[in-house]
Structure 1
Amino acid sequence: MAAALTLGAEEELHLIDLERWQLAARAPQVLAKLPRENFSAEIQRTTVETNTDVVSSLDGLRQELLRLRRGAVEVAGRENLGIAAVGTAPRSEFRDFELTASGRYGRMQEQYRLLVDEQLICGTQIHVGVADRDLAVEITQRIANRLPVLLALSASSPYWNGLDTGYASIRTIIWQRWPSAGPTGPLPDSAAYDELLQDLIASGVIADAKMAYFDVRPSSHAPTLELRICDACPLVDDAVLIAGLFRALVRDAERGIEAGLPRGIRPLPLHRAAIWQAARGGLSGQLLDGSLHPRPLPARDAVRGLVTDLRDVLEELGDWEEVSELAETALARGNSADRQRAAFVQHGDLSDVMRSVVDETQGPASGPAPATPALRRYRARAGDEGVDANSVARPNYRGVVEHVRGLGADGIDGLETARDRWIADHGLDFGVDGAKQPFRVDLVPRLIAAHEWSELEAGLIQRARAVEAFLGDVYGERRILRDGVLPEEAVLGAPGWREEATRLPPGTLRAPIQGFDLVRNEYGGWRVLEDNLRNPSGAGYAIAVRQLMDAVAPDLPRPGRLADPATALEQLRRTVLAGAKPGTRGALLSSGDGSSAWFEHRRLADGAGLLLAAAEDLAVDRGTVVQRSTGDRIGSLYLRLDVELPDLVDGEGRPIGADIMDVAAAGGVTLVNAPGNGVADDKAMYRSVPELIGYYLSERPLLESVPTYRLSDEGERRAVLERVGELVTKPVDGHGGQGVLIGPAADAATVALRRVEIAQNPSGWVAQEVVALSSVPSIEDGRMQPRHVDLRAFVYATGRRRRDYVLADLALTRVAPEGSLVVNSSRGGGAKDTWIQLPEHDRSRPHHR
């Protein structure tokens, strides 16, 4: 018997208290006022379920879903409740669960315990009419390989128990814990399916046929095939898209049966892997293709591939135009998980996310209208901080984007001309390969919200304290080596180790100025990419870029509570002078105008009131460092050298660096930052910083690091050598992006050469997983386009206590060239102004006007 191909849907809807923006266990009150033929209870009292009438078209299904949602909204609204069709309510917590009073549900809770108590989840079930149960069982198995695409489109549950889980659909992971969830495995007919159910019931593991929670199953109460794998969808059109694709898959499988084609079932572990992959990344990651030997491909390619494969069937059903348009719209705006994360980033408040999912669920089928017109030629991508997947500016970037767009091509050209003139007039340059070149500045600023800055402040100060404790320990008592937390060869044999640093007095603050490179991934989470403890540059450039923007783009709309980067100059002065004796001066010791960051050396020294000195300008007189021309005593030296201090000689051949080290060892001068700090910031030690935080602070890391492989470890080396083409490999002592190889962007010959280099000197290399860097709108050829960015932030310390550490109110956003992930200026990168919004409660810090 042919499939009837009718349509129906069941939607599980969370009830939301509109004052507290939390789940409300008031389903009995709401259901008492709703018709029983279309509304029913679920296992949790925070949920109601809708059941549409049977329809024959996608538009009919759309109208049914809207009708039932309107009915639920009207009744719930009288109780000051809203509804949210999402896999998990973003602010849901374990304690929100309240069991619906029934004998069946009570038995389930008694039997399954925590498994029931965590069922604060909602799904969308799509029914397609298939009256012949043998046909239904056969179709179930033929369409299994394409189910991950439908799950990815529906994914709407990134948050669970108040946290971002890292999954697009954590509901799927929770749901699959049921003993009867997932695929059925190969079955010849409906009799075998029924026998499987009876065996499960007889085993006592499930109570009845309704507990057959398979991904797809013949319905237990209707002549349909039921799709059960999808999250609830806040936008009705997303549910309609999934229904259209599911019906087409059913018809396509039916055609295959009629043609006598084989099933092509994948082994169950591969099926589970494909479902997990879809739950993990949704539309922002990769999916496994539908072949018997699947390979990963971008999710959007998988979606388009499925739609294209089904075109003939969709045309037969009269659904081609609608499904293809809905699919492209879904890819443009992202799934609900993407939109929820974008809503959270604005203010860091899950209440905002709750509002957004309620608004979408209770709004039009296609979602709320965009607040501003789309950037038609913007290459929208997941993880863009300023523009959403629908090419519409995000709320915090809206003023900036609209201002830049309003300038037009001529206005942008004039702005860039003024920028270039300012750079030339102020000598804003950076050295590359011994030659100075203009410092590249993009004119679209990057915005960092107050809640993000607070998160970075806590995490970076924690990291800085742990690193400082490590430096003091390894150049002193070496407790961490005696306790076996780190092997001795990893420290004393590190490229940055300097034996001379052991001579400095006990208690010396070795890294008062620390720089950290951070990246923001496509889910909005921050990761520390590198630590910089020798002579981190960028603060002077960040200050200069703000001055440039104030001069050439004063009309660009600025947010409130904007941090003033120039305040870092006073903090720098306090940091440098913290250890100096009264009556002495502080100086910035530079390698001179040949240094790549000579511009910054001059600006920082001038702005912080420090003497700018080169080797030739200093001498040692009776145990004191002095300025040769004036005899002024120098009490502290901020080292910005291209060599380590003990190796520094001046043009006359004087070993002035060694002489200064003698003074420092005797306590006559403070060094900021001390020689030997490289032992803590080489790329091999980076992997151990989380251990340092636990060892020295007895805390858990507040900021995550990028997964890193130390290639001196034989096991890790073997694994990396097989994956060089998938990883980023770096020399342990590299800087400025030199020697960095991004495997996915390299050709086979380059990858092969890197394998040889690693094999020849394993301890000289590390490998990291590739991070999908976020992007920010940047001006390219007169219009805005996304460019990958990172962030360098700075922690200053004047002592060892927590309150002695501060995160400077500035950061340098570095911008990669088009098509690149490398942001270093020496590799063609540039920078942009970083607009940091300070928290409202922090009135002590001056704002930029």
Structure 2
Amino acid sequence: MAAALTLGAEEELHLIDLERWQLAARAPQLLAKLPRENFSAEIQRTTVETNTDVVTTLDGLRSELLRLRRRVVDVAAKEGLGIAAVGTAPRSEFRDFELTATGRYGRMQEQYRLLVDEQLICGTQIHVGVADRDLAVEIAQRIAPRLPVLLALSASSPYWNGLDTGYASIRTIIWQRWPSAGATGPLADAAAYDELLQDLIASGVIADAKMAYFDVRPSAHAPTLELRICDACPLVDDAVLIAGLFRAMVRDAERSIEAGAPRLQRALPLHRAGIWQAARGGLTGRLLDDSEHPRPLPAPEAVRRLVGDLRDTLEELGDWEEVAELAETVLARGNSADRQRAAFVQRGDLADVMRSVVEETQGPASGPIPTAPALRRYRVRAGDEGIDANAVARPNYRPVVDHVRSLGAGGIVEREAARDVWTEQHSFDFGVAGTKQPFRVDLVPRLVQPYEWAELEAGLTQRARAIEAFLADVYGERRILADGVLPESAVLGAPGWLAAATRLPPGVLRAPIQGFDLVRNEYGGWRVLEDNVRNPSGVAYAIAIRQLMDAVVPDMPRPDHLADPATALEQLRRTVLAGAKPGTRGALLSSGEGSSAWFEHRRLADGAGLLLAVPTDLAVDGGTVVQRTTGDRIGSLYLRIDVELPDLVDADGRPIGAEVMDVAAAGGVTLVNAPGNGVADDKAMYRSVPELIGYYLDERPLLESVPTYRLGDETERQAVLERVGELVTKPVDGSGGRGVLVGPAADAAEVALRRAEIAEHPAAWVAQEVVSLSSVPSLEEGLLQPRHVDLRAFVYATGHRKRDYRLADLALTRVAPEGSLVVNSSRGGGAKDTWVVLPEHRLR
């Protein structure tokens, strides 16, 4: 064995002001009090670098890393500072950069400008003893295909300049802008490597050999092979895991050389692709395998495959059990990027993330000890809103989880039985395929934090304003068509277009009640999944669920400032009556008992003080809509019917809908929501809502949409036909989950059938990228388990001004069945109470 396989590490540590939770440019002061043999300066004054002594075991490396961190912490604490071993400090900003005052660094800043000014990044470099430089160069090239796994394990830099970048390691993207970063390309031996360095130096692109920032390189100052691709790791055990895998990779490559096995030389673009993919998704995305023609694998599978492939070598080194256990631990709790995002979504404050990374960096090697008991049988997954990667309830969910656990199996059964009784007594049902089924409610609530509700309020009222402007325009002047922003075929040919809607008077509110389906992804970000502008359902269900919870689990601890969903009834009343003439009444027009949402129609009418009418209840008298039996004049009619109004007939065949439409066209009754609104909420128009926001409001969208393909476009259709098994496909005019195919969950026959359906009628379909929905703890046979959820929220408008749009203080959380991403009640889904904690501005 030619390689010594000793271990060492260099760690770059951010200095954090513990009062302001920002970077502190105090490295010179700290380094003056630390020994030079283990501590040194970096290019930025906000960073200290540690250099371990040479060790031979993973335990020895762990001890060294902890020893050096403690030395820095002891000195930094006297200055009111802490340390954070992360790729980027979550609250760092460009202006935080301060250059370390040396001639070399000054020259670099002059030459590279922005590249230097943005170097507020920290990495971990692992050294493995390989004294033979020819061997080191050969090994570096052999292990290159496996580097993405190490990067994904280390990823700790999702935030940059105060924003979530969408990357697990934005440090990698920043670092690889250097002209000497990345892979070297094929090299025969150390002489070829040295020649490459001399050519780079002679070119003037780099100043010296220390600037060879390759992913793996023979060290410039020690007889080692140096791994440079990884982010700094706040948990020492994560760095130890990476060191163990890297050493095993080095030894495994040495063994293949001894056996005369040929080197797999991956093309540089494929190498870059693999590194980029690891930086983008970390452990929640996919990683390229290490084959000659690499294919993406789920990151956990790639990690386990690497560990398994290295087992013989790890056993030879005496590291197998420790590395295997550490790898499973990381996969269970996530890398630092995952944990940072989980810390952020609790309150939406990056200071919380700074605290968490400092606590991890300065704490035990394995991480802070959980302060609450773990749910040992909970199927932990990334993106769970209530349970963290250690199977411990997150702080905001802890009182609820503790209460559920305190009930015990018997208490849960008792309360679920009481729920079922309440559901039956209150006829709490929903129509599915012509039959009424009990509305299923899970007794574990879903919490929405104040900052999230404020974000949704801003984004959804913006979206509602743009949709209202669009409806007014396309049923009026049609400026958006004349300006070429949308083609006529996308509007006048849409399934929801209704020519008769052009008869309504100018200036009427066409969609004063809008519903929006949202999903929260694994990073905690909200996305709008669908717009519901015709007759969005769910308000009465959300109110009833709270009433059920108050009756069945009244002792479950509620958070402060919990929104009361019943306030939406008064908002609904004001919205319906906003356009009614004095002396008239508001009414809710339902298709009748056969409607799937008949429960809601009755509850809304009763709660908001509206007349509940079915077609036979209405008549037109002297240009006025009246209630036939009482003679009440109806000035505002909230439409909750299953057909468009002009097509509505009563039980005797009387065209009451057409008669009411004539009155509305003359201004004698206000329609809430107007006929023809379907043109704004079909699945194809959804894709254009960001454009509507820009066109009508001159604003940028505040909430993201899901990437959507309109299959009437030939280019997009061809791309989708090749990926039906990877996408979600939906009928343009679908509702209630009808016709939705989740490609990854479908079998080959279902995918083939959908391809044929799309090819036959392409304009009838859209496709969307699959979103990894968040999950929330739910009860299943007395145990808490994760279930995917979405959220339906509602915006009410009483006028055309921005201040006339308001997000109702309720939301309906819908829950998918086990193993499903489809949440609709008609597809076996259920619901939860949504505990909206109001932001401060809504409390005044």
TM-score, normalising length from structure 2?
1.00
Deviation at 1:841, TM superposition (A): 4.1
What 5-or-longer segments of structure 2 have no aligned partner? Answer: none
Query: What is the aligned partner in structure 2 of residue 222 from structure 1?
Result: 222
Equivalent residue runs for 1:153-552 within 5 Å: 153-552=153-552
Distance in 1 (alpha carbons) for counterparts of 2:509 and 2:775: 36
Give secondary structure in 2 for the equivalent of 1:43.
Answer: coil
Give secondary structure in 2 for the equivalent of 1:396.
Answer: coil
Distance in 1 (alpha carbons) for counterparts of 2:165 and 2:581: 51
Distance in 1 (alpha carbons) for counterparts of 2:68 and 2:229: 21
Structure 1 runs (4+) deviating above 4 angstroms are: none
Amino acid of the structure 2 residue aligned with 1:144 = A
Give secondary structure in 1 for the equivalent of 2:502.
Answer: helix
Deviation at 1:65, TM superposition (A): 0.5
Deviation at 1:373, TM superposition (A): 1.3
Distance in 2 (alpha carbons) for counterparts of 1:6 and 1:701: 53
What 5-or-longer segments of structure 1 have no aligned partner? Answer: 845-849
Query: What is the aligned partner in structure 1 of residue 115 from structure 2?
Result: 115
Distance in 2 (alpha carbons) for counterparts of 1:391 and 1:254: 40
Amino acid of the structure 1 residue aligned with 2:307 = V
Q: Does 1:666 align with 2:654?
A: no
Give secondary structure in 1 for the equivalent of 2:752.
Answer: helix
Query: What is the aligned partner in structure 2 of residue 803 from structure 1?
Result: 803
Distance in 2 (alpha carbons) for counterparts of 1:347 and 1:658: 51
Amino acid of the structure 2 residue aligned with 1:631 = G
Distance in 2 (alpha carbons) for counterparts of 1:291 and 1:442: 46
* RMSD across aligned positions (CA): 0.7
Distance in 2 (alpha carbons) for counterparts of 1:147 and 1:355: 30
Query: What is the aligned partner in structure 1 of residue 590 from structure 2?
Result: 590
Deviation at 1:843, TM superposition (A): 2.2
Query: What is the aligned partner in structure 2 of residue 576 from structure 1?
Result: 576
Distance in 1 (alpha carbons) for counterparts of 2:285 and 2:394: 21
Query: What is the aligned partner in structure 1 of residue 624 from structure 2?
Result: 624
Distance in 2 (alpha carbons) for counterparts of 1:334 and 1:747: 30
Q: Deviations over 1:613-667 (max 9, x none)?
A: 0000000000000000011100000000000111000001110000000000000
Deviation at 1:286, TM superposition (A): 1.2
Deviation at 1:284, TM superposition (A): 1.1
Distance in 1 (alpha carbons) for counterparts of 2:411 and 2:225: 59
Equivalent residue runs for 1:626-775 within 5 Å: 626-775=626-775
TM-score, normalising length from structure 1?
0.99
Distance in 1 (alpha carbons) for counterparts of 2:715 and 2:327: 44
Deviation at 1:100, TM superposition (A): 0.6
Deviation at 1:461, TM superposition (A): 0.3
Q: Deviations over 1:51-91 (max 9, x none)?
A: 00101111111111011100101111111111000000000
Give secondary structure in 2 for the equivalent of 1:234.
Answer: coil
Give secondary structure in 2 for the equivalent of 1:808.
Answer: strand
Q: Deviations over 1:326-358 (max 9, x none)?
A: 111111111000000000000000000000000
Give secondary structure in 1 for the equivalent of 2:842.
Answer: coil
Q: Deviations over 1:497-516 (max 9, x none)?
A: 00110000000100000000
Amino acid of the structure 1 residue aligned with 2:609 = G
Distance in 1 (alpha carbons) for counterparts of 2:65 and 2:842: 47
Amino acid of the structure 2 residue aligned with 1:107 = R
Q: Does 1:44 align with 2:52?
A: no
Q: Deviations over 1:446-469 (max 9, x none)?
A: 000000000000000000000000
Query: What is the aligned partner in structure 2 of residue 5 from structure 1?
Result: 5
Give secondary structure in 2 for the equivalent of 1:49.
Answer: strand
Amino acid of the structure 2 residue aligned with 1:48 = V
Q: Deviations over 1:134-171 (max 9, x none)?
A: 01001001111111111010000000000000000000
Give secondary structure in 1 for the equivalent of 2:248.
Answer: helix
Query: What is the aligned partner in structure 1 of residue 817 from structure 2?
Result: 817
Distance in 1 (alpha carbons) for counterparts of 2:426 and 2:262: 73
Deviation at 1:524, TM superposition (A): 0.7
Amino acid of the structure 2 residue aligned with 1:55 = V
Distance in 1 (alpha carbons) for counterparts of 2:622 and 2:515: 35
Give secondary structure in 2 for the equivalent of 1:111.
Answer: helix
Distance in 2 (alpha carbons) for counterparts of 1:250 and 1:639: 70
Q: In the comparison of the two structures, how many residue pairs are matched?
A: 844
Query: What is the aligned partner in structure 1 of residue 125 from structure 2?
Result: 125
Give secondary structure in 2 for the equivalent of 1:787.
Answer: strand
Deviation at 1:409, TM superposition (A): 1.3
Q: Does 1:556 align with 2:551?
A: no
Q: Deviations over 1:543-578 (max 9, x none)?
A: 000000010001111111100000000000000000
Deviation at 1:265, TM superposition (A): 2.0
Give secondary structure in 2 for the equivalent of 1:105.
Answer: helix
Query: What is the aligned partner in structure 1 of residue 777 from structure 2?
Result: 777
Distance in 2 (alpha carbons) for counterparts of 1:292 and 1:85: 34
Q: Does 1:143 align with 2:143?
A: yes
Query: What is the aligned partner in structure 1 of residue 106 from structure 2?
Result: 106
Amino acid of the structure 2 residue aligned with 1:41 = A
Distance in 1 (alpha carbons) for counterparts of 2:273 and 2:415: 51
Distance in 1 (alpha carbons) for counterparts of 2:153 and 2:321: 18
Give secondary structure in 2 for the equivalent of 1:831.
Answer: strand
Give secondary structure in 2 for the equivalent of 1:278.
Answer: helix
Query: What is the aligned partner in structure 2 of residue 606 from structure 1?
Result: 606
Distance in 2 (alpha carbons) for counterparts of 1:603 and 1:627: 19
Give secondary structure in 2 for the equivalent of 1:240.
Answer: helix
